Amino acid sequence: MSMQPLHEILQANRYPGRSVVWARTLDGVMCGGYLLTGRSPVSQARVFRLVDQELIVVPTGPAANDPLRHYIAATARGDWLAFGNGKQVATVADRLQEGQSPAAALNGLEYEPDPPIFTPRITVIVNVNSPADAWFGAARRSLSDRTSTNLLTLSVRDLAPGDAVLMTTYVSDGQQLVTGEPFLEALTKATDKHNLLDELWQALDPRFRVAAATFTPQDLAAATLRNQTR
């Protein structure tokens, strides 16, 4: 079965919620990406900020802090880079610094307490000294009435130039939404992290896109950012 282009997958998903991307661009460099979309005014009133070795989601105005909307989206600590869609990013990074394995660091996470959606927690971790390998974690609620968490841990190894792996919190036509697929493999024609940001940004529906960032695991502080102006 052939893989779809990354931009086509995102274009078909009008409201992906939050998304993580891990790709090897055509220059051979491993790149991470984090995408933020929103439907409500408070969800759209957010931007990315780079502070030292952290990518942070912050409100654009005087809104009160909301831990489901405002959080560390990516952090570089020691030998590790972690990025994802909530407060679990800092928790996972702390566990890695304590010497836990990637699988152990991703264990025990829970989906978000936001009924009736129950948004998955999605996380990616990479060892900056061997960035050919990445670990994805997804804490998801069952589609049944069972409330316990389904926890997916995925090890991604040796992507070829042009390969990408994507996780989204939702699949949606912009109105109705369901939990996204566990993960999707895709193809990118991006030549570097800047080109990857362009590809991701242009694929997002302008009605919902909020912010996007791409970065290499060795240099989060030099991430490329784009924030929607409204």
Dump pLDDT digits (tens) for 97-120.
999 999 999 999 999 999 999 999
CATH superfamily of 4-227: Inosine monophosphate cyclohydrolase-like (3.60.20.20)
Calculate the alpha carbon distances from 88 to 130, 223, 225 in Å: 23, 21, 22
The DSSP string of 36-80 is EE-SSHHHHSEEEEEETTEEEEEESSSPPP-TTTSEEEEEEETTE
**What CA dihedral angle connects 55, 172, 92 and 26, to 10 degrees?**
-60
Lookup result for tokens 């051979």: 28
This prediction has a pTM of 0.96
- Please write the tens of the pLDDT for every residue from 10-23: 999 999 999 999 99
Do residues 213 and 223 make contact, with C-beta atoms less than 8 angstroms apart? yes
Facing residues of 22 across strands?
32, 165
Q: What is the mean pLDDT of the chain?
A: 95
- Is residue 91 scored above 70 in pLDDT? yes
Q: Considering the chain, what percentage of its residues have pLDDT values greater than 90?
A: 88
Give the per-residue pLDDT at 101: 96
**Residue 126: which pLDDT band, with cuts at 50, 70 and 90?**
very high
**Residue 230: which pLDDT band, with cuts at 50, 70 and 90?**
confident
Residue type, 75: T
Answer with the residue of higher pLDDT: 58 or 230: 58
Residue type, 170: Y
State phi, psi for 9 to the nearest 5 degrees.
-60, -45
**Alpha carbons 71 and 35: distance in angstroms, whole number:** 14
Before 116, cis peptide (omega within 30)?
yes
Give the per-residue pLDDT at 1: 60
Burial of 13 (0-12, 13-18, 19+ CB in 10 A): buried
**Alpha carbons 129 and 221: distance in angstroms, whole number:** 17
Give the per-residue pLDDT at 74: 98
- Please write the tens of the pLDDT for every residue from 30-79: 999 999 999 999 999 999 999 988 999 999 987 778 889 999 999 999 99
